[in-house]
């Protein structure tokens, strides 16, 4: 039968291929599928998921893994990384009965349309029963594994492998202690952003989005940008990267959203070709993925050097809106700090508190410290405590995000972990490329793109997120650079 | 383990699902994929094909089939149709070694780009070696089966199940005997079609294509029309139908091509929902599929009643081109008979000879009656004999179609068989809907669409093509109605 490592690779190539195919089907569904195709698509995605699960949990995978002498492999080799990942993924997957996975998938599929209706009518009570079902199934899921210090660890591990609840709590508590007073200090500053609301013709936004993505850079004939309801990045391989955006005729949000998705897309685009067909050939974790998207959106896209370069193009595209607005005023406006209700519309400073709120509530849910029917109340209290905003209704509160409807408990913290890591990685890039800001001000993004390729993307999923970060920046996750960045940027430059 | 029939259905549902997913990937590749994605896509399609082959030839399918008491099923039931089809497909599939299938797929994949270059440079010699390889592999494929009266029967059967070479020869000889003199009589008729060449703005063509498809009719939110290089119809289920077209700024070809693909799309769209997820839930054969596309393109789309209704809309869309051109002149122009070099651009009368030429050459190839290096010579001789045209180069001759590069030997005849059946089915529809032409002249396509749904599409793939046709029209395939139609239409009306 040949070398067990080669046999393993062959099986894992199929597994990864099924994932890529599912990405394409998901992309199609969310961009261009005839709406009535939903029924077929759900069946096809369920089929792919089932086939992938069968491939992953095939006892032959376990046998091959046991036959491979992992100790004899160079621990930094692709093969060693693949075997580590495969062992870890296999060991987790075989703990969970197929029937429970099916129940979880079904419960999510059933909860989602109920959540859509509940949000539309701002009626949390309608959503309570499917939410209870999702939570109950997560409890059963947690019970499949060895007892952990925190049951929430099991859930978190699915999104940020080997990250522990206690570690996240430490980081988030440190952030909270600094953010709450920072927000209080910034919230009443006068910043004129009136020119960001108005009429921005869609065709010019579309052209600018393409211009930005081409300017940031990628190989030719490999990317698409398409409109969608909720933006995401996807792709069916390193040469087939698809990012999406949502256009608003009355604002420039799409531009920042496109830069965000560019960061996700670039991560997958720059995965080394030699292992792109294997499970190590993708972003390392949700957190590290978010570090890439937040970097392009915020550290590049909301920086003064970037706008010194690109603002004339923007003025040219929207002369009615931006004539007479200097770049410093524009920069201040796109960085205005204003506590608000909705996470995905939050500025850089308040964003973290939206995530911390959800992280805390999720632990209360999993540990039974909150009755689910009391969630809106608890949500609203925290919004008031952390951001000083009154929640007018559940559509703008506890019902705003889709994650819990999809059973994704443990996911939210990766948004803020990624943001924290984005600053750590950015500062390391600045060390290695001392004139990085000058380059950006000249419209030269090559050095940054290549540095990310060599130092971040080249590692794929060969190591755990913690080890990956350590190899990039030399230390573990650390909130201090992020907090210092916020204080530096929002203590001074914004008021320029 | 439960009822063997239910188990079989479950496995065949997966098999059909993999086919639908592959259709979607193929559609994406040919419409909107970033060009560099070709490499990934080939791997993903190969993976889906391999998984489908494994599912189909799983010995468990054979065991389940042997356990099902097919004799106890109502022969007209869906279940009986499914078991017949599964048995037939399984029996064929297990004859062919996986290694040979792999070699065939690889040889096709390798031959295709060579053919593209050979066609571009009109250099048949360049294509000779990959063509020889494809032919050699077809000989090995034929040898996998019980000896047939004609080896070509094995190949034909893959495209038009249970059709025999001898039967096709009889039909085609009958057609040839009538067409050659008909073409000779029509070729020198003066028909003014100068107004069909000019400037037809793409946006208006696109709007008209949508208008036609919506007017012919379908369920809401279920269809897409997209531009592509070589038009085709595809879909990922009865509620997700995707047709494509190629726009030419200087002609109206796209409109007829869209009507053609509408016919293919409608066939899949009207497959009964109760078995749409199973292998019987698709068009019966390539020939019957073509009967549907040719019907909408020619019997509807090139008819005088249709243009009496729709011509004012066309004139409104292209006033510069069509002002002052009466509907009868327009009708004569779109039905102009003119022997030409390229099959896909041929008119209704000469089209058949292009197919017959290929059918005859393919048999000579398979029976070794022609040296492959002499193919261009033999092609050019036949073009001269049958259509009276001189072939200037191989790009406009033997290299024009992609089929042989893809190893598709036995496919071509289905185009003409379908055209023949389209007239038989049309005449049956006219019997059942006596005012059909009046309805079309009023822009009412509902009766025809529903009749096709009830009499053709409702049968799916439950029966062989011959039995399917017999159930629709009461007889087997017969060229006489087709020949009578051509003589009636082209002997009189065209010269109106």
Sort out which chain A residues have CB atoms less than 8 A from B220's CB and list them: 36
* B63: number of Cβ within 10 Å: 12
* A488: number of Cβ within 10 Å: 10
Sort out which chain B residues have CB atoms less than 8 A from A24's CB and list them: 24-25, 28, 44
Which of A27, A37, A102 has the highest number of chain B CBs within 10 A, making it the mutation to test binding with B?
A: A37
Instruction: Single out the catalytic residue among A261, A290, A360, A466.
Output: A261
pLDDT value, residue A494 = 43
The CA distance from A271 to the nearest CA of chain B, in Å, is: 14
Overall average pLDDT of the A143-160 stretch: 95
pLDDT value, residue B149 = 87
Beta-carbon separation of A34 and B277 below 8 A: no
Beta-carbon separation of B237 and A33 below 8 A: no
Sort out which chain A residues have CB atoms less than 8 A from B234's CB and list them: none
Which of the residues of B are catalytic?
Answer: 261
Instruction: With a cut of 60, say whether residue B244 has pLDDT above it.
Output: yes
Sort out which chain A residues have CB atoms less than 8 A from B25's CB and list them: 21, 24
To 5 degrees, how large is the angle CA A52–CA A54–CA A55? Answer: 65
Instruction: With a cut of 80, say whether residue A309 has pLDDT above it.
Output: yes
* 3-state secondary structure (DSSP) of residue A234: strand
Overall average pLDDT of the A346-371 stretch: 97
Host H or E run for residue B241: strand B241-245
pLDDT value, residue B491 = 81
The CA distance from A133 to the nearest CA of chain B, in Å, is: 28
pLDDT value, residue A493 = 42
Overall average pLDDT of the A301-310 stretch: 98
Beta-carbon separation of A44 and B20 below 8 A: yes
Beta-carbon separation of A21 and B43 below 8 A: no
What pairs with residue A227 in β-bridges?
A245
Among the partner-chain residues A21, A25, A240, the one whose CB lies closest to the CB of B34 is A240
* 3-state secondary structure (DSSP) of residue B2: coil
Sort out which chain A residues have CB atoms less than 8 A from B43's CB and list them: 17, 277
Length of chain A: 496
pLDDT value, residue A303 = 98
In whole angstroms, what is the distance from residue A131 CA to residue A115 CA?
A: 9
> What one-character-per-residue DSSP string does B110-148 give?
HHHHHHHHHHHHT-HHHHHHHHHHHHHHHHHHHHTS---
In whole angstroms, what is the distance from residue B423 CA to residue B429 CA?
A: 10
Measured over all CA atoms, what is the biggest interatomic distance in chain A, rounded to whole angstroms? 73
Overall average pLDDT of the B164-191 stretch: 94
Residue in chain A lying closest to B220 (CA): A36
Q: How confident is the model at residue B495 (pLDDT cuts 50, 70, 90)?
A: very low
Among the partner-chain residues A28, A222, A237, the one whose CB lies closest to the CB of B24 is A28
In whole angstroms, what is the distance from residue B18 CA to residue B486 CA?
A: 41
In whole angstroms, what is the distance from residue B213 CA to residue B242 CA?
A: 11
Residue A104 · residue A141 · CB < 8 Å: yes
Structure tokens at B115: 């053919």
**3-class SS letters over A318-330:** CHHHHCCCCHHHH
pLDDT value, residue B496 = 37
Among the partner-chain residues A14, A33, A241, the one whose CB lies closest to the CB of B47 is A14
Q: How far is CA B176 from the centre of its chain?
A: 20
Nearest to A355 by CA among A402, A419, A284, A288: A419
Average pLDDT, chain A: 95
Among the partner-chain residues A32, A39, A43, the one whose CB lies closest to the CB of B224 is A32
Instruction: With a cut of 80, say whether residue B438 has pLDDT above it.
Output: yes
Strand bridging mode A223-227 / A241-245 = parallel
DSSP character at residue A266: H
Residue in chain A lying closest to B23 (CA): A25
- The rounded radius of gyration (Å) of the Cα atoms in chain A is 23
Nearest to A420 by CA among A164, A175, A173: A175
Tens-place pLDDT, residues A168-216: 999 999 999 999 999 999 988 899 999 999 999 999 999 999 999 999 9
Above pLDDT 70, what percent of chain A? 99
Q: Is A470 exposed, middle or buried (0-12, 13-18, 19+ CB in 10 A)?
A: middle
In whole angstroms, what is the distance from residue A279 CA to residue A84 CA?
A: 11
pLDDT value, residue B493 = 41
Residue in chain A lying closest to B242 (CA): A34
Overall average pLDDT of the B318-330 stretch: 95
In whole angstroms, what is the distance from residue A8 CA to residue A66 CA?
A: 11
Q: Which are the contacts of A235, defined by CB distance < 8 A and separation ≥ 6?
A: A20, A23, A27, A241, A242, A265, A268, A269
From edge to edge, which strands make up the β-sheet containing A233-235? A223-227, A241-245, A233-235
Look up the pTM and report it.
Answer: 0.94
Instruction: With a cut of 90, say whether residue A314 has pLDDT above it.
Output: yes
Structure tokens at A241: 């990267």
Residue B248 · residue B254 · CB < 8 Å: yes
Nearest to A13 by CA among B285, B314, B44: B44
Angle between helices B413-432 and B480-491 (to 10 degrees): 80
Structure tokens at A217: 């850079």
Beta-carbon separation of B21 and A220 below 8 A: no
Beta-carbon separation of A37 and B239 below 8 A: yes
In whole angstroms, what is the distance from residue B240 CA to residue B259 CA?
A: 18
Host H or E run for residue B235: strand B233-235
Residue A172 · residue A356 · CB < 8 Å: yes
End-to-end CA distance of chain A: 69
Above pLDDT 70, what percent of chain B? 99
Residue A247 · residue A202 · CB < 8 Å: yes
Alpha helical stretches, state H, A270-406: 286-294, 304-317, 319-322, 327-334, 348-366, 375-387
pLDDT value, residue A1 = 58
pLDDT value, residue A148 = 87
Q: Over the range A193-217, which residues count as b (16 or more CB within 10 Å of their CB) and which as e?
A: eebbeeebeeeebbebbeebbeebe
Among the partner-chain residues A33, A51, A239, the one whose CB lies closest to the CB of B240 is A33
Beta-carbon separation of B219 and A47 below 8 A: no
Beta-carbon separation of B47 and A17 below 8 A: yes
The CA distance from A241 to the nearest CA of chain B, in Å, is: 8
In whole angstroms, what is the distance from residue B428 CA to residue B245 CA?
A: 29
Distances (CA, A) of B230 to B291, B354, B402: 19, 18, 11
pLDDT value, residue B109 = 86
The CA distance from B316 to the nearest CA of chain A, in Å, is: 28
The CA distance from B320 to the nearest CA of chain A, in Å, is: 29
Tens-place pLDDT, residues B95-139: 999 899 989 988 998 898 899 999 999 999 999 999 999 999 999
Instruction: With a cut of 90, say whether residue B1 has pLDDT above it.
Output: no
Residue in chain A lying closest to B218 (CA): A36
The CA distance from A100 to the nearest CA of chain B, in Å, is: 20
Nearest to B278 by CA among B17, B4, B6: B17
pLDDT value, residue A388 = 94
Measured over all CA atoms, what is the biggest interatomic distance in chain B, rounded to whole angstroms? 73
Q: Which are the contacts of A477, defined by CB distance < 8 A and separation ≥ 6?
A: A167, A171, A417, A420, A421, A424, A466, A469
Nearest to B54 by CA among B13, B88, B94: B94
Beta-carbon separation of A21 and B20 below 8 A: no
Tens-place pLDDT, residues A425-469: 999 999 999 999 999 999 999 999 999 999 999 999 999 999 999
Beta-carbon separation of B37 and A223 below 8 A: no
Q: How confident is the model at residue B188 (pLDDT cuts 50, 70, 90)?
A: confident
pLDDT value, residue B492 = 59
Q: What is the dihedral of CA A318, A319, A320, A325, to 10 degrees?
A: 100
Residue in chain B lying closest to A226 (CA): B32
Q: Is A475 exposed, middle or buried (0-12, 13-18, 19+ CB in 10 A)?
A: exposed
């Amino acid at each position: 039968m040949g070398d067990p490592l080669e046999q393993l690779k062959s099986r894992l190539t199929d597994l990864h291929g099924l994932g890529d195919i599912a990405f394409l089907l998901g992309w199609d569904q969310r961009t261009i599928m005839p709406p009535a195709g939903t029924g077929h698509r759900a069946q096809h995605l369920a089929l792919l998921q089932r086939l992938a699960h069968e491939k992953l949990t095939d006892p032959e995978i376990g046998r091959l893994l046991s036959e491979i002498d992992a100790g004899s492999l160079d621990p930094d080799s692709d093969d060693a990384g693949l075997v580590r990942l495969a062992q870890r993924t296999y060991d987790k997957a075989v703990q969970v009965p197929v029937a429970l996975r099916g129940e979880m998938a079904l419960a999510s599929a059933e909860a989602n349309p109920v959540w859509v209706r509940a949000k539309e009518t701002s009626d949390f009570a309608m959503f309570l029963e499917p939410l209870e079902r999702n939570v109950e199934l997560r409890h059963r899921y947690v019970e499949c594994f060895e007892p952990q210090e925190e049951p929430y660890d099991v859930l978190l591990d699915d999104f940020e492998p080997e990250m522990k609840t206690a570690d996240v709590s430490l980081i988030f508590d440190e952030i909270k202690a600094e953010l709450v007073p920072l927000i209080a200090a910034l919230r009443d500053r006068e910043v004129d952003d009136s020119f960001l609301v108005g009429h921005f013709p869609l065709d010019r936004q579309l052209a600018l989005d393409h211009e930005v993505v081409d300017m940031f850079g990628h190989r030719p004939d490999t990317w698409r940008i398409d409109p969608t309801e909720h933006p995401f990045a996807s792709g069916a391989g390193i040469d087939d990267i698809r990012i999406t955006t949502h256009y608003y005729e009355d604002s420039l949000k799409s531009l920042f959203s496109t830069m965000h998705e560019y960061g996700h897309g670039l991560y997958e685009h720059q995965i080394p070709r030699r292992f792109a067909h294997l499970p190590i050939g993708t972003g390392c974790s949700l957190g590290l993925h978010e570090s890439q998207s937040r970097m392009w959106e915020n550290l590049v896209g909301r920086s003064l050097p970037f706008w010194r370069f690109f603002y004339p193009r923007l003025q040219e595209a929207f002369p009615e809106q931006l004539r007479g607005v200097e770049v410093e005023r524009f920069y201040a406006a796109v960085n205005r700090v204003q506590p608000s209700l909705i996470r995905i519309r939050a500025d850089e400073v308040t964003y973290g508190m939206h995530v911390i709120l959800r992280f805390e509530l999720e632990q209360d849910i999993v540990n039974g410290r909150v009755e689910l029917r009391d969630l809106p109340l608890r949500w609203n209290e925290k919004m008031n405590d952390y951001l000083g905003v009154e929640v007018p209704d559940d559509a703008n509160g506890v019902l705003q995000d889709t994650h819990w409807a999809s059973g994704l408990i443990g996911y939210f913290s990766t948004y803020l972990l990624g943001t924290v890591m984005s600053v750590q990685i950015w500062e390391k890039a600045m060390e290695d490329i001392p004139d990085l800001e000058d380059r950006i001000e000249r419209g030269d993004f090559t050095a940054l793109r290549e540095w990310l390729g060599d130092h971040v993307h080249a590692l794929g999923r060969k190591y755990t997120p913690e080890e990956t970060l350590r190899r990039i920046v030399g230390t573990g996750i650390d909130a201090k650079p992020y907090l210092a960045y916020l204080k530096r940027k929002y203590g001074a430059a914004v008021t320029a």
